[in-house]
Structure 1
Amino acid sequence: MAFENPSREAIKQLLMNTRTIAVVGLSDKPDRTSYMVSEAMQAKGYRIIPVNPNANGPILGEKVYGSLTEIEEPVDIVDVFRRSEDIGPIAEETVRMKHKPKAFWLQQGIVNEEAGQVVAEQGIQVIMDRCIKVEDSILLPKK
């Protein structure tokens, strides 16, 4: 059966109940989409936890982690800015996190149904090919 994203209402409820977003592939370069999206989400009040093994120093004022499994605190959403073919290991890492996230979110243009299945089998909601900033702006314009 083909993958289908949750309903808009389910995504709205997820975002309403989200405080912390781990962003895999968050660049330290302000002209990158991952930076711009994360900066906008941070400005709306979400806590951003950067995950980038190649970064040197903080991004958006937050400590950077080399992997999801290094994060000790609860994360509501794992938001991924990586190519579709690179998602498998990130899904595996997501299910090994100390605290299970509510959702595994693949940004616009990113789809990997096998990886999504790995995460979904652990009871984690999966969203693919959607921009978290766009969805938040549409569904929660005044948060």
Structure 2
Amino acid sequence: MQHDDYERQYLKDILTQVKVIALTGASPNPQRPSHGVMRFLLGRGYKVIPVNPGQAGKEILGQTVYARLADIPEPVDMIDVFRASEYLDSVVDEALALSPKPSVIWAQLGVRDDVAAGKAEASGIKMVMNRCPAIEHPRLIGWGD
């Protein structure tokens, strides 16, 4: 799949079908974009599980933080990646090691690695790159207020 533009329905289907999201690069700092996106997603009814090795065992927005994706004790539908592009490949590798695998890996604004995306897609995982679900959700689904 090409990742310059996405069909509206592709993104909308993802946002309406996923329920449990692992957010890698989660931050307890309210000034960080990952914190705001996590708050937004929680407010829209998603279960969001923060992942950050430096915060493991603590809580962010009332949710227990895990060090790695493999530490999460339940299946996740989507991984939201707040890591630099050079780390996307390792996140994909972690996702591929999960059982069951997530159905989606969503890389945030500015995060893109076409080789990593190809690897994920070859294993049946949908990829979204250089997009933010907190921007796409209101645009495609509405604010839900």
Calculate the TM-score normalised by the size of structure 2. Answer: 0.92
The whole-number CA distance in structure 2 between the counterparts of 1:51 and 1:39 is: 14
The aligned counterpart of 2:54 is 54
Q: Deviations over 1:92-141 (max 9, x none)?
A: 00111122111000001111111111211110000000011001111111
Structure 2: runs of 5+ lacking an equivalent: none
Code of the aligned partner of 2:105: F
Q: Are 1:16 and 2:47 matched, yes or no?
A: no
Change (3 A) 1:9 1:132: same
The aligned counterpart of 1:31 is 31
Equivalent pairs, count? 143
The aligned counterpart of 2:108 is 107
Structure 1: runs of 5+ lacking an equivalent: none
Runs of 4+ in 1 over 4 A off after TM superposition: none
Residue pair 1:21, 1:75 contacting (<8 A) in 2 also: yes
Residue pair 1:5, 1:128 contacting (<8 A) in 2 also: no
Residue pair 2:137, 2:143 contacting (<8 A) in 1 also: no
Residue pair 1:73, 1:99 contacting (<8 A) in 2 also: no
The aligned counterpart of 1:43 is 43
Change (3 A) 1:2 1:17: closer
Q: What is the alpha-carbon root mean square deviation over aligned residues?
A: 1.5
Calculate the TM-score normalised by the size of structure 1. Answer: 0.93
